[in-house]
Amino acid sequence: MGFHPYTQEGYFQAWNYSFTDDQTWIFATFIVSNLGPGTKNCGVSLVVFDKQNGTQFSTREYSKDELKAESGNLELEIYDSSVYKGEGGPEIKMVTDTAELVISYKTSWSKAVSLSGGKIHLPEKDAFVQADMAFSSVPAKGYLVLNGNRMELNGRGGMEHLLTNYEVYKYSRRWELYRSINSAGERLFAGGFIGNENFPEEEIRTVSALDPSGKMIFSAKVLKSEVLESETEPFSGYLLPIKEKFYLDESGSCSLTVSRRHTVGQIYVLSNISAVLRFFVRLFFTKPYQLYYITDSKLDCAQVPEGSLPKDKNFRGIFSYYLINP
């Protein structure tokens, strides 16, 4: 999950740090890519949702000269935003035009969950994509200064990582990520992408669960999915599942049913970036949106394909849609 630069035009790498408490949801993303105009190859993106004010979104774009990172290292600086290894775990600082965010996470980077099962090789020669979750629902503290108002943060958070050396719009319609927790403190994750006609397989999804100490309980590929209820989502105009079933074995006797409830953030990406970068993004993404939902799920299995069942089969968490092309 460290910094791994590639020379291909479609190279894109992102680290998404999240935070939540009873009132606030925060998603802070550090990005490095070859998709920006000229030398603008890195930046930060901050999404803040609270129940009173809704969603606020801000970004900053920077040149390669303002990026400090070593290959293989998780620590990095993008101008005045940074990721460092603190005494108790990762510490992030993000500065945008309207906000300053500082969060310390109490965890290590050593217990990652692979959502993609390593590199997924794409039809193009030597092209791949890889997605991992470094940690989720760990203690997190810090502060947020938004529009001049300071807010103390004391809740839980996580980090996910995406790396690809090929343009995502050429093979996928949308990316998904679900991170959740049950009453026993066990965590369940589901993630992957829905492919388009250029991808040999329709979708790549994985479901994994960890015990409270971070030890893997089970991990399984989604062999088939079934949309039980759907809608044309009003904000984005995409047709999306409201309720969906993921089958984890050949017989169909083990499944995860995911039901999204209410939104905790929605962004039309093109309305929140500079005019210069907007032109380039439109070359790659027809309708780029980010949607975040509180989501419930239930595991319905007598036995998982490999590993053991969680103590409580009911989970609740945040489901993120990264919409690329209809």
What is the fold, at CATH topology level, of the domain defined by 167-325? AttH-like fold (2.40.370)
Domain topology for 9-166: AttH-like fold (2.40.370)
**Whole-model pTM?**
0.83
Q: Tell how strand 172-181 and strand 187-195 pair up.
A: antiparallel
DSSP label at residue 270: G
pLDDT at 39 over 80: no
| DSSP-derived secondary structure for 223-267 | -EEEEEEEEE-TTT--EEEEEEEEE-STTS-EEEEEEEEEEEEEE
User: Do 271 and 224 meet the contact criterion of CB atoms below 8 Å apart?
Assistant: no
Identify any residues that bridge with 245 across adjacent strands, giving them in sequence order. 226, 257
Cα dihedral: 97, 162, 35, 176 (round 10): -80
Q: 280-317: per-residue pLDDT in tens?
A: 455 455 667 888 899 999 999 988 988 999 999 999 99
Per DSSP, the three-state class of 279 is: helix
Listed in order, the ranges of the chain carrying CATH 2.40.370.10 are 9-166, 167-325
Q: Which residue has the tokens 């790659």?
A: 284
Summarised one tens digit per residue, pLDDT across range 235-260 is: 888 899 999 999 999 998 999 999 99
